């Protein structure tokens, strides 16, 4: 063996083989990366290596890139900016720029994300720069931002338009309500005149009229009265629908007993109140309207020759204490917890309501009995329903044809 021969030990051979394999893997990654990669000399700030994607991105060949500074290939503004970036890199060993403008060899503009690291490689310092093209991402972000701005602007315009139209509708509705109320109210005056003159004709000139003429006059009177009642009910419904509602404690016992005392009825009516009725939370005017209509219906819709018998009572916590809800009940919005409620029942011995009419009995202008047999406007129960809804209470009934009806209103206890 010659004196200058070098003997490689197995351990050294294995180390060199591993380093060679590592270099090959790194080179493959370097060559295949879809981000631009530049290797720079920290002393000269010049490019010593560039991967193929960097050439593809900038339009420079690898040979054109080698030996140049970053500012010379459009990555930094000028040499001053390049010196400042390298000063920061030496200090922190890392720099990162987002939305960095980049100009290609052909003059095309790109937005890139720039990350640079300073590290040691086998005892010497090396700078690696990674450049990612984010042009498409920026376009997408800008498009999304523009779309959001347009949507926000459109939403603001729509909100303003809705507010303007709502205000216009409210103004028109107010005018319409005032007009309809005025017309309905003013119609009652000529109706009363018609009724009065017909009455005068019957009383003072009946001797000069035959039976047919007297019959016509009575028909005129009845029609005028019926139309007057209809107008009154429409006004009542409108009042319940639009009036400002104030909820307060109401003494139901006193209210219903006062209604019974002043209740006008041509035939004898038996009304019984079982026990004393509680104080509830509601609107006294609405409750007066509700119970007045329910009592009136209970007394009216009885078979000919039958004395109306009405029973009124209170049942506390009705919503939970009853084992089952009746199939014939109709419900509005719940008023509150069952143990905090009271249900007021009004039961009659009237003609009852057939099952096929249960769904429509509480609607507007719903009449299920011939007008010749039972006078009415078909609005009374609609007024009750709307008043109950506005108080946040519940309304329902149980009824069968020929077996009477039991209506109830469930309210919060005061």
3-state secondary structure 51-116: CHHHHHHHCCCHHHHCCCCHHHHCCCCCHHHHHHHHHHHHHHCEEEEEEEEEECCCCCEEEEEEEE
Q: Which tokens sit at 68?
A: 């140049």
Q: Which residues contact 192 (CB under 8 A, 6 or more apart)?
A: 224, 228
Burial of residue 214, with CB atoms counted within 10 A of its CB: 0-12 exposed, 13-18 middle, 19 or more buried = middle
pLDDT of residue 311: 94
pLDDT of residue 146: 92
Per the CB < 8 A criterion, the answer to whether 149 and 110 are in contact is: no
Q: Which tokens sit at 381?
A: 């129960």
Positions of the chain with pLDDT lower than 70, given as ranges: 1-22, 173, 176-181, 183-185, 263-267, 317-339, 363-378
pLDDT of residue 18: 59
Question: SS3 for 129?
Answer: strand
Q: Which of 303, 326, 314 is nearest to 373 (CA)?
A: 303
Q: Which of 242, 238, 241 is nearest to 230 (CA)?
A: 238
> Is this prediction's pTM over 0.75?
no
């Amino acid at each position: 063996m010659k004196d200058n021969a070098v003997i490689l030990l197995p351990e050294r051979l294995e180390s060199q083989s591993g380093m060679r394999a590592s270099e090959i893997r790194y080179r493959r990654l370097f060559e295949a990366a879809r981000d631009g990669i530049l290797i720079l000399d920290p002393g000269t700030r010049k490019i010593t290596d560039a991967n193929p994607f960097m050439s593809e991105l900038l339009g420079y060949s690898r040979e054109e890139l080698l030996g140049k500074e970053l500012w010379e290939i459009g990555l930094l503004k000028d040499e001053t900016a390049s010196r400042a970036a390298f000063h920061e890199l030496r200090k922190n060993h890392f720099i990162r720029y987002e939305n960095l403008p980049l100009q290609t060899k052909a003059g095309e503009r790109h937005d890139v994300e720039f990350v640079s690291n300073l590290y040691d490689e086998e005892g010497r310092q090396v700078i690696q720069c990674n450049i990612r093209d984010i042009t498409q991402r920026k376009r997408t972000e800008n498009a999304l931002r523009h779309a959001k701005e347009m949507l926000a602007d459109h939403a603001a315009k729509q909100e303003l338009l809705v507010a303007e139209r709502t205000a216009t509708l409210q103004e028109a509705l107010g005018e319409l309500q005032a007009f309809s109320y005025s017309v309905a109210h003013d119609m009652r005056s000529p109706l009363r005149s018609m009724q009065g003159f017909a009455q005068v004709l019957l009383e003072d000139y009946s001797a000069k009229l035959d039976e047919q003429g007297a019959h016509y006059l009575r028909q005129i009177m009845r029609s005028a009265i019926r139309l007057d009642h209809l107008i009154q009910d429409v006004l009542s419904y409108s009042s319940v629908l639009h009036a400002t509602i104030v909820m307060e404690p109401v003494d139901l016992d006193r209210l219903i007993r006062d209604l019974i005392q002043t209740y006008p009825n041509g035939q004898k009516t038996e009304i019984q109140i079982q026990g004393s009725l509680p104080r509830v939370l509601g609107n006294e005017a609405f409750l007066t309207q509700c119970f007045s209509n329910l009592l009136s219906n209970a007394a009216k819709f009885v078979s000919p020759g039958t004395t109306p018998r009405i029973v009124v009572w209170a049942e506390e916590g009705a919503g939970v204490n009853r084992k089952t809800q009746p199939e014939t009940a109709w419900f509005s919005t719940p008023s509150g917890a069952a143990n905090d409620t009271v249900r007021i029942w009004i039961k009659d011995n009237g003609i009852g309501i057939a099952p096929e009419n249960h769904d429509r009995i509480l609607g507007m202008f719903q009449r299920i009995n011939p007008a010749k047999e039972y006078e009415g406007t078909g609005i009374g129960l609609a007024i009750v329903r709307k008043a109950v809804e506005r108080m946040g209470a519940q309304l329902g009934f149980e009824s069968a044809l020929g077996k009477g009806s039991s209506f109830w209103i469930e309210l919060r206890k005061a």
